[in-house]
Structure 1
Amino acid sequence: MPRVIPTDSPDDPRPKPPPEPDPGECCGNGCDPCIYDLYNDQLTYYRTALAAWLARHPDA
């Protein structure tokens, strides 16, 4: 029988979105990668992790 993990379980917490960079964190010099590029990568990872978590916790 599969183990059921409650939605509030510390073993499987809901992913948290990454903090958005402050406008002053970008220098505007076209850095590669820019702070916003890194943020977008983290946001993509978060959305994937959240979708997987929601699939495990459909009643959340």
Structure 2
Amino acid sequence: MKFVLEVDMSEGAVAADAEKELGRILRYWAGNVRHYALTAGDESAVYDSDHRDVGRWRIVEGP
């Protein structure tokens, strides 16, 4: 299985300060990881500090 995180960095808060926003996204996700089974098919939206949907994380099958 793979953990895949995709974040659109082309606009919004992420575009304005990518280092800060990506750090915040990763900290938020890591703090909530215990709430997910982390099995193939699990996924959720990723939001920036302005609460805009900027991507997704997901668990997929495969190498």
TM-score between both structures, scaled by the size of structure 1: 0.32
Structure 1 or 2: more strand by fraction: 2
TM-score between both structures, scaled by the size of structure 2: 0.31
Rg comparison, structure with higher value: 1
Higher RCO, 1 vs 2 (CA within 8 Å, ≥6 residues apart): 2
